[in-house]
Structure 1
Amino acid sequence: MGILGWIVLGLIAGAIAKAVMPGRDPGGIVITMVIGVVGAIIGGFVGQAIFGTGLGSFFDLSTWLLAILGALIVLGIYHVVTSRGRRAHH
């Protein structure tokens, strides 16, 4: 999959992760896009390490599941980090 495919996959995975994960996001659409792309990359590494399969074809279900899982992980970490920062300022 080329770089454009990774970006599109990450954007969609980030949007799905944001829709699935409860709570308000302190970031906007740009943060969601970055989280999605980073999540897709992390999902590929996790899939390779655990299952022996990384991100494959754009139309492969396992590719989408790994990318969404990675985006959920990154979004969860982002929520924890940003919520600590907001509590510290109050």
Structure 2
Amino acid sequence: NGAGHFSFIFFRGIGTGAMHVICGAIVGGGLAYVWQRTWLKIAGTCGLLGAAITFHAIYNLLIAYGSVVQYIAYLLPVLILVVGKLIFRSSIQ
């Protein structure tokens, strides 16, 4: 499965780590918002978990597909983290 190539292990490790950070941020940041509103607790929690699970599932499917799509999937969460960081930084200033 490509474990013989260092680049495969390196990029997969970075992509997987970034994906888990993004999914954790979706759920954690969303719960901080949702749980301040009583009427939104149950539906909001289910929606956040559904969004994180769906995003992670799409990532896993792209990884399993192979070829060039696999490398695009490795870059996707890293790019999302960079864009999120830039947006967050610009909103603070």
Q: Considering the TM-score relative to the shorter chain, is it more than 0.5?
A: no
**TM-score, normalisation: structure 2:** 0.38
**TM-score, normalisation: structure 1:** 0.39
Which structure has the larger Rg over C-alpha atoms?
2
Q: Which has the higher helix share?
A: 2
